[in-house]
Amino acid sequence: MKIWDCLCEFINFLYKVNSKKPSENVNPTFSCGEINISIVMIGKEETMQSSRIGYEPYVNYIRQAAKNGVKVFYILARNRVNCFTAECVIEEVTKENIVKQTDKYVDEILYQGKPIKVLCARLENTYNSYNPIKRYLEC
């Protein structure tokens, strides 16, 4: 598959993730050729209440997805509690050496007229070396 086809599919995937309703489940993993990415959105109340430790389901998901070949994870969180939970998830999975953090953005934005904390972190699977466009560059 050509990289442009994968990019078009990825844009459609992002649209699906962005436009989903809160109660709707969307597969958080995108896979096309060498690109294998998962978007982990922290904050679904049912997920955090499903275990004794609120961030455990996210850690378990990342563990399993990394074993299944997901190469890059984007952790997204909004509001102070969810950002704190995201930090706990990142700390746990990096401590276990499942992934390494390669980038993180934390800011406070205005949302519906109120300041709100946001977080986006990029984590790479340590089981795989990852270069999604390498095969397209080799001639």
- Quick check: 139 pLDDT over 60? no
Number of domains in the chain: 1
Burial class (CB in 10 A: 0-12, 13-18, 19+), 84: middle
Per-residue pLDDT at 44: 64
- Quick check: 130 pLDDT over 80? no
Count other Cβ atoms within 10 Å, centred on residue 104.
14
- Quick check: 103 pLDDT over 60? yes
CA dist 53 and 133 (Å) reads 38
- Quick check: 9 pLDDT over 60? yes
What CATH number should be reported for the domain holding residue 108? 3.30.110.20
Give the tens place of pLDDT for each residue, 38-63. Answer: 999 998 655 555 555 678 889 999 99
Range of the domain at 77: 28-130
Whether residue 81 lies inside any domain: the answer is yes
Supply the pTM of this predicted model: 0.82
Q: What is the mean pLDDT of residues 9-27?
A: 87
CA dist 3 and 1 (Å) reads 7
